[in-house]
A and B are shown apart, each in its own frame.
Chain A
Amino acid sequence: MSTSSPPARVPSSSQIPSNSSTATLNESSSPQQQQPQQIAWPSSMNDYELGDVIGVGATAIVHSAYCKPRNEKCAIKRINLEKWNTSMDELLKEIQAMSSCNHENVVTYHTSFVVGEELWLILRLLEGGSLLDIIKHRMRKSDCRHGVFDEATIATVLKEVLKGLEYFHSNGQIHRDIKAGNILLGDDGTVQIADFGVSAWLATGRDMSRQKVRHTFVGTPCWMAPEVMEQDHGYDFKADIWSFGITAIEMASGTAPYHKYPPMKVLLLTLQNDPPNLDTGAEDKDQYKAYGKTFRKMIMECLQKDPAKRPTASELLKNPFFKKTKDKKYLTQTLLPTGPSMKTRVNKASKRQPGASGRLHRTTSGDWVWSSEEEDNGKDSSDSEEEGKPKPLNQIEHADSSDDEHDDSDPSTTTATDPTAALDVTNKLTVTEDEFRVVNLVLRMRNANRELNDIRFEFVVGKDTADGIASELVGAGLVDNNDMTIMTANLQKLIDQRNTLKTVTFQLASSMGEVPDEKSLIGFAQISITD
């Protein structure tokens, strides 16, 4: 047999770098009490009765359910594996992360099994839904202009979250996606951190060909720590503390500080500006004056750009703010009754359209990829939104810069707010006026690992400049410094001729000694207009 055999033509399987964080250990891993022996969670679908759908994701549906042999309620997350084109190893890694946790404040994983082309994850049912559900519901039903929850409620919930995080970190794990949407509440006031990664990957599990496997989910931009956004160095569990700080703001104001901006902008704002605070997204100076110094100080400590300066979860638990904590029962009185009923959530869940918004992802090499996903900030158009009381925050919601038509809400934000960071922020971002035409673009090029990546960004004609954008791309580490000139020139060309030209492909200066090939974008990059 000749040696010019088939393997020559075959792709090498893409290696997934093991991302296992080195163990960070402390004394706190106290052994949990073992449950008395009882029937193990069965791994056959016939032992479960499916109830209502309580959540829908890009590739998964969550049901409330009932486990017959155990006579117990549970939640079942059904993941469609056919839509899961990413490696199964990643799914396993995440399930292992869940099953290696045994803590009151971390989602309780029971078992998982395959049903046809679906993977069923059996989880504890938390009837109250996510904190985000409750926030949104409350903002629709009542005037939250001066804040969504009182400090005691915030402290009580956040303390539970912190305990979960402390355990998590002592386990050597990083959650990477702490936000209200991933904090679940039980009927009895139980608070659990959910969805470590599984939901995150759900977003990435779309149709991708073999060579372009994108992985290593990082988080949702608004909640993402600066060091996570910067790609050159790694990040550790302090990244979760940043997200925790953003979540604290979210619980008070109802949204993350930069929620109204597109992801690339959020990235730049987070990297370039001083850390956000409670007033960053405020419309009036005194809007959130009900919140005291201790709370603000706690947020400030979490939102320090230097991760080393942020407290650990254990240290944060000792923060004076958490002296305001009440018990679980308090939450059943203040928080849960104001949340949407299971019924409402069921209806909502079935209406949500996948792909309505998106998330920023980083590939193995740390490059940015934006891909769309269901649920997210603010823009959740629910039927009940129109009716009922005036909505204090709808001005903010209108000021979405990717939106073409909106009112004069922006000027008001520039005049208000905290004199420190916020002014700077808003000034930079008054890009939403009508005379500006937003062009959505995608830059396709290979990263350091020679994998093709799509970097999506927008260009506001009359506001942005080609060299400005190019230097932002370079600044964000997405484009090699040597390519800035050629990038600027081609971006300018595309923008100038955008009525006739939809794509430019050009050779890069940074080509690394390989034979350039325009067709396969080796040593070449391509910018296209996507709208």
Chain B
Amino acid sequence: MPLFGKSQKSPAELVKALKEALKALETLKVGGDKKAEKAQEDVSKNLVSIKNMLYGTSDSEPQTDIVVSQLAQELYNSNLLLLLIQNLNRIDFEGKKDVAQVFNNVLRRQIGTRSPTVEYICTKPEILFTLMAGYDHQEIALNCGTMLRECARYEALAKIMLYSDEFFNFFQYVEVSTFDIASDAFSTFKELLTRHKILCAEFLEANYDKVFTHYQRLLNSENYVTRRQSLKLLGELLLDRHNFTVMTKYISNPDNLKLMMNMLREKSRNIQFEAFHVFKVFVANPNKPKPILEILLRNQDKLVDFLTRFHTERSEDEQFNDEKAYLIKQIKELKPIQSDGTSQSSQQQ
């Protein structure tokens, strides 16, 4: 079949060669050593060959399904995917990107409605945990992030990640000092919490306390980007209908309301604006619990005044203005709590 100068290696040969080179690389110290250099070169070379098999090159088409499926089978049997990820930091710059491309391509492979690589990874969740731990290492964090987000697209894999202890490491990863890593981690985090609606809602309900205790720290982060991003995501989570139960719980807690009211007054206008989109849910709730109602009543006049002057330059944003007007009306019409102590809303609308 191939009419090129040198005969092409079969998938089995390639996988074997790559595995041997990786093993060599694993045991040798990088730098200086000739052998290590050779091993690294071999790894890179074989990775490029595998990548070309999957993607093709400018001169050649990708290999046939049969070859690709042989390759995938070899990758599973040799446990090479895990080995690659475990040794990612030892692979050179371009090689790291190749690993991610090979991984993502194999992951997307489908036979009918089945995704064999997804099934394979389900039996080897260590792959996922190793990828997640990649955020601890600057030099591989973004490569791991690319693979993780591809994994997160599959519900079965997202579920494993969400329900793992390692998931809670994300609360640290999203706040690391290097912006690109922190925001990469954040987009993976967001993907995991929003992609598969029902799975996410179940997870959040089942782990409400733990998640929101951690989440609180993000909202209070010293890092402006963390604060802004997490606040925005909070708004999106609460306003997603699937998360109705979670929302109800969240807007019943007076501490959460206090936090949002403080964030409405933050110096940053972007944060103010995001806070508004969470705050409105507390006010629009037709069944406000007593403590919430009390806070709003105590601040009734101040809130009306504040909202009236809030972001008035957004005159073109009709939805925002409608919502603002609605909130002002709601707050104005709040009535003191009945003597029987039950929560109530002032009007029927």
Binding site for B on A (CB under 8 A): 1-2, 4-7, 9-11, 13, 23-27, 29-32, 34, 36-37, 40, 43-44, 81-82, 85, 88-89, 91-92, 95-96, 99-100, 102, 111-114, 116-117, 119, 171, 207, 209-211, 312, 314, 519-520
Contact = CB atoms under 8 A, between A and B. Distances in A.
B326 A100 contact: no
B317 A209 contact: yes
B177 A5 contact: no
B285 interface: yes
A436 B247 CA distance: 61
B168 to A, nearest CB: 22
Contacts of B41: 31
Contact of B179 (A30, A40, A112, A312): A112
A209 B55 contact: no
Interface in B256-296: 268-270, 277, 280-281, 284-287
A114 B224 contact: yes
A95 B187 CA distance: 14
B183 interface: yes
Given A6-B285, A9-B284, A112 B224 contact: no
Contact of A92 (B40, B44, B187, B318): B187
B260 to A, nearest CB: 13
Interface string B226-249: 001100000010011100100110
A256 to B, nearest CB: 29
Contacts, number: 142
Given A96-B184, A119-B179, 16 more contacts: A4-B286, A5-B244, A5-B286, A10-B239, A24-B58, A26-B58, A26-B59, A27-B52, A31-B95, A32-B92, A32-B94, A81-B225, A96-B180, A100-B97, A119-B225, A210-B317
Given A9-B326, A25-B56, A43-B178, A92 B320 contact: no
Contacts of B56: 25
B269 A37 contact: no
A113 B178 CA distance: 5
B105 to A, nearest CB: 8
Contact of B228 (A9, A26, A88, A211): A88
Contacts of A91: 183
B268 A114 contact: no
Contacts of B281: 6-7, 10
- Report, nearest first, the 8 A-B pairs whose CB atoms are least far apart: A209-B317, A6-B284, A112-B179, A43-B177, A26-B58, A92-B183, A31-B92, A10-B239
Contacts of A5: 244, 247, 284-286
B208 interface: no
A456 B295 CA distance: 48
Q: Helix, strand, loop or mixed for chain B's interface?
A: helix
Nearest to A34: B92
B284 to A, nearest CB: 4
A524 to B, nearest CB: 14
B314 interface: yes
A299 B270 CA distance: 46
Chain B CB within 10 Å, residue with most, of A24, A29, A44, A116: A29
A116 B179 contact: no
Interface residues of B, number: 61
B347 to A, nearest CB: 13
Contacts of B223: 114
B314 A209 contact: yes
A13 B180 CA distance: 23
B331 to A, nearest CB: 14
A208 B225 CA distance: 19
B323 A9 contact: yes
Nearest to B179: A112
Nearest to A6: B284
Contacts of A519: 318
A390 to B, nearest CB: 47
Given A32-B94, A113-B178, A210-B317, A2 B55 contact: no
B138 interface: yes
A34 B30 CA distance: 10
A24 B94 CA distance: 14
A405 to B, nearest CB: 34
A34 B43 CA distance: 15
Contact of A96 (B142, B285, B287): B142
A2 B177 CA distance: 44
A209 B320 contact: yes
Contacts of B98: 29
Nearest to A521: B318
A30 B177 CA distance: 31
A23 B101 contact: yes
B177 A44 contact: yes
Contact of B280 (A6, A32, A36, A111): A6
B31 A37 contact: yes
A207 B270 CA distance: 10
Nearest to B252: A1
B31 A36 contact: yes
